[in-house]
Amino acid sequence: MNDTAKVQHVVIVGGGTAGWMTAAALAHAFRGSPGRRITLIESTEIGTVGVGEATLPTIRAFNASLGIDEVDFIRRTQATFKLGIEFVDWHRQGERFFHPFAPYGMKVQGASFHHAWLRLRETGDETSLAEYSLPSAMAAGQRFAQPAVKPSVPFANFAYAYHFDATLYARYLREYALAIPGVRRSDARVIDVRLRPDDGFIDGLLLDNGEYVSGDLFVDASGFRGILIEQALVTGYEDWTHWLPCDRAVAMPSALIAAPAPFTRAIAREAGWQWRIPLQHREGNGYVYCSRYLDDDGAVDALRGALAGTALAEPNFLRFTTGRRRKFWNRNCVAIGLASGFIEPLESTSIALIQSAIAKLLAFFPERGFSCIETDEANRVMREEYERIRDFIILHYKANARDDSALWRDCRAMPIPDTLERKMDLFRSRGHVVAFAEESFEEASWVTMYAGFGLLPSQHDARVDRMDIQVLARELASIRAAIRQAAETAPTHAEFIARHCAAVA
C-alpha cells in the first residue's frame, strides 16, 4: 500500500475503558509502522461512567492479545474471578438460577445435552441443570480453579471472566498505551468539531486549550454524549426502550463484609434489578430501574437498604436510553463504547461490545479513501451483533412470571422482536436452540435462560431415545458425581486469590 493512502493519525475522543482499550489495541497493532500516530483527548474535569465492571470471558483474549500478564493485571485492578451470573428472583420471587460460562454435560447420541436432561425429567427426575455444570458447582461452594489446558472430559471445558475496577483498568491501559512510541494524551475538552465542506468528514477538533487536532480517522469514545458521532455527524439513534424499559441506574460502592464470591449477582427488584460485583477491596452495587415505576429518591433508598456493607461513596446516577446508533461507522468516525449504543448492564456485555468494535475496526481498518463497501459491512455486522444481544436481554424480562409489580407484568405482556419470538417458539416445540449470524451467546446460555425461566419444550430430540433409559440415568449420575468431586477439590475463591494474585495493600 502507498504510504500516502494509509491512515496515519487516529484521534480518540474520550478516555475511560472504551478510549484506552481502543488506544492500547491500535498502538499494539501499529508497532513497526513508522509515522502512525494516536492522539487521545480526555479531560480530567469530565468523569467517566466506570462504576466497577463485570466482564465476559472474551476480555481474557483481549488482554492476552496485548501481551498483558494476567497476574499483574488482576493485582493492579483489584480484580476477582467470575464463573458466571447468579439470577435471583427473576422468574419468581424466592427462585434463583446460575448462568455459567460453560456447556452442560456432553452430547448424547449426537444431540445436545439438554435433550438427555429433558428425557430424564420425563421419568420424574428433578435434578437441576446446574448439577451438570462444573462452574455452577464451584460457584455454589464459593470455589474457583482455572480450567485445564486440555480437559479430559467435555464438562471440564469452561471459561471464566473477571470483576475489576473500571477506573483502575483504564489507568492500567493508559500506562500501557503511552509507553508505545507515537501515542499522545491531551488533557483537554473538545469545544468544536470542524467538518470538511466538500464531503462532511471530520477535519479536526478545536480544544479548550487552543490546540487544533486534525486527523485521518476519529474514534468517538465520549460516552452517552456522542460528541462526534451524534452531535457533529447527526447519525441518529434507534430507541429500544419499548423492549428494554430501564432508563436509569444508581451506583454505590460498599465495604466487603465477606470473602468475594466468584460470580456476579443480578437481583430482580420491584422496578428493575440490582447488581453486586465483588472486587478485592470493595463491592460494586447498582440499581438499574425504569423511571416510569420508580423515582431517583426511591431507587437510592432501595439500594442503600440492600447494601451488604457500609456505603463508601455517595450515589452516582446514570441516565440512558437503550438502543444503538443507526451507524457505528459514519464517514471517518467510528463510535466505540457508550457512544455507539447501550443495551444495559445485564449480562455484562458493555466491555465485550467495546472489544468487538475494536476487532471490527482492526479487521476493516481503512485507507484514507474510506471504502463504503467496507464501512457498510462493518456497520452490518455490528448492527446484527447488537440485535442478537438485545434479544437475549429482552428474554430476561419477557419470560418472567412475577406478579408483584407493574414493571414485570408489563414486560411479560409486551410484544417482542420477531427474531426472539421465533427462537422461543422453536425451543418450546422440540428444544431447538437457533443461532443466527453474529451471536454473542452460545447454546448453553440460551438453554440456561429457558430452563431458569421454566420455558421447557413439549418434546426432546428423538436421538436420545436410542439410549436405554437406565443406562442414560447411570451416565448422567456419573457426570454429576464427577462434577461434585472436581468442585470439592478446588480451593476457595479467596484462597486462590491469596495464593496467586492478591492486590498489594
| 71 CB neighbour count, 10 Å cutoff | 11
C-alpha span between 449 and 131 (Å, rounded): 15
CA distances from 13 to 10, 225, 263, 326 (A): 10, 11, 33, 20
| 8 A C-beta contact, residue 220 and residue 334 | yes
Given 6, 82, 327, 423, the catalytic residue: 82
The pair phi, psi for residue 166, each rounded to 5°, is -65, -35
Give, for 360, the enclosing helix (H) or strand (E). Answer: helix 350-363
- Which of 499, 495, 504, 100 lies closest to 260 in space, CA to CA? 495
C-alpha span between 27 and 4 (Å, rounded): 20
SS3 (DSSP) at 397: helix
- Contacts of residue 415, defined as CB under 8 A and 6 or more positions apart, other chains included, come to none
| 8 A C-beta contact, residue 264 and residue 283 | no
CA distances from 39 to 32, 47, 93, 103, 226 (A): 17, 19, 50, 42, 18
For 187, the grid coordinates are 488533557
| 8 A C-beta contact, residue 38 and residue 27 | yes
3-state secondary structure 67-97: CCCHHHHHHHCCCEEECEEEEECCCCCCCEE
| 8 A C-beta contact, residue 360 and residue 411 | no
The pair phi, psi for residue 498, each rounded to 5°, is -60, -35
Tell me whether residue 150 is one of the annotated catalytic residues.
no
For 369, the grid coordinates are 479513501
Torsion sign, CA atoms 244, 247, 251, 257:
negative
Question: 443-452 vs 372-398: helix axis angle to the nearest 10?
Answer: 20
The pair phi, psi for residue 224, each rounded to 5°, is -55, -25
C-alpha span between 72 and 276 (Å, rounded): 24
Q: Which residues are catalytic?
A: 82
